[in-house]
Structures are given as structure tokens and as C-alpha cells.
Amino acid sequence: MSDQGLFLTLEGIDGAGKSSHLDALEALFKAQGRTVVRTREPGGTPLAETLRGLVLEKPMDPLTESLLVFAARRDHIAQVIGPALARGDVVLCDRFTDATFAYQGAGRGFDNAVLSTLEQWVQGQAGGTKLLQPRITLWFDLAPEIAAQRLAGARVPDKFEAQPVEFFRRVAQGYADRASADAQRFVRIDASQTRDQVWLQIESALRARGVLAGGRAG
């Protein structure tokens, strides 16, 4: 399924600026002649968006939170991501499973072994021997203190955005751990730079991975 299209995710703590580059990424791939499906997690389907609202606003324990996130992900994969990749489309997703390990795992202190089991159940393919994962994950790495300054007064915070800086330090470390464990998939983006400099990093990384070369590359 994932071998036929291009699955690219953007990850990072709140305030890292990842979402601000989605328009440019979509335009870049469309200029290459690709069909682009742009989506987000939690969310991406009517059911998953409903679950997103619960996860972001309602108090709950980490297990309940994780189960809802993976339930939303399952519907998202079945209804949107899987069919798009099977068609050969580019899927640009604002967060995916790495965020669950960073936020629920590292941030909330939930058991990574349970998260790994849920990951296998929800993303397992070919009889469970292979996981649906992004081909490339752009990790927008930014110091939590700078991210907090960027978020201050930007909008009414959800329950995660309202967490103290120490929470985001743990989340940032969770992302670093995921990147270390899967270095071939992750591309670290220095999100402390200007918007134009960040974009140059993104475009350079995608060209280095070969996904922009020769039209329908990837």
C-alpha cells in the first residue's frame, strides 16, 4: 500500500511551525504533477475529527487518550491514507504515530510497550509483518522555550498547548528518541531559523531523498 504512493509526515512540538509549510509543500508536489492529499492527525475523517475534539479538550487518563488516538488513526488509514497511497498519491499528514509516542508516551509518561502494540494492531499490513509508516518524516526541532514564546497569545490553547514547558521538554525528547531509532525515515529540520531558511532545509532534504526528481519520483 505505502510503496505505491508517497507518505510524508510533519512532526514537532506545538509552536515549532510545521503546519505553516503545508501550503508550500502541497504546491511543490503539485508542480511535479502529483496528486496531493493533505490531512492531519488526530483527524482526517468525520469520525476521527470527532475523536480529535475529545482528545484535545476532555480530561482523560493516558490509556483512554491513546485508545482514542489510535481509533481515529485506524479510521484515517482505512478511509483516507490507504486508498490515497494505493492510487499513487502524495499524502501530506500533519502528525502521525510519532506524535503519539512523543505526547502520550514521553509527555504523559504512558507505557511505550502498549503504544507499540496498538501501533502493530492499527498499522499492521501483510499479515502483521509490516507496518504502514511514512517514507519521510520532517521533524521540526525547536527548543520548548522558543515554541512557548511563539504560541503565547496566538490562540486559545487546547489542553496540550496549555501544558508547562517541562511537558514539552519531555515531548521533544520523545521525538528525539523516535528519530534516533529510525534515522533513515526522519529528517531533522532546525525550526529555530527563519521561515525562508526552514523552507530551504525542507526542499533540500526532499531533493536529497529523490522524491522531487524527475516528475513522479518516489
15 annotated binding-site participant: yes
Which residue, among 80, 72, 96, has the nearest Cα to 1 in the 3D structure? 80
Q: How far is CA 1 from CA 46, 143, 166, in A?
A: 23, 35, 38
192 annotated binding-site participant: no
109 annotated binding-site participant: no
17 annotated binding-site participant: yes
19 annotated binding-site participant: yes
- 57 phi/psi in degrees, rounded to 5: -120, -30
Whether 172 and 141 have beta carbons less than 8 Å apart is answered as yes
Binding residues: 12-19
Binding residues for ATP: 12-19
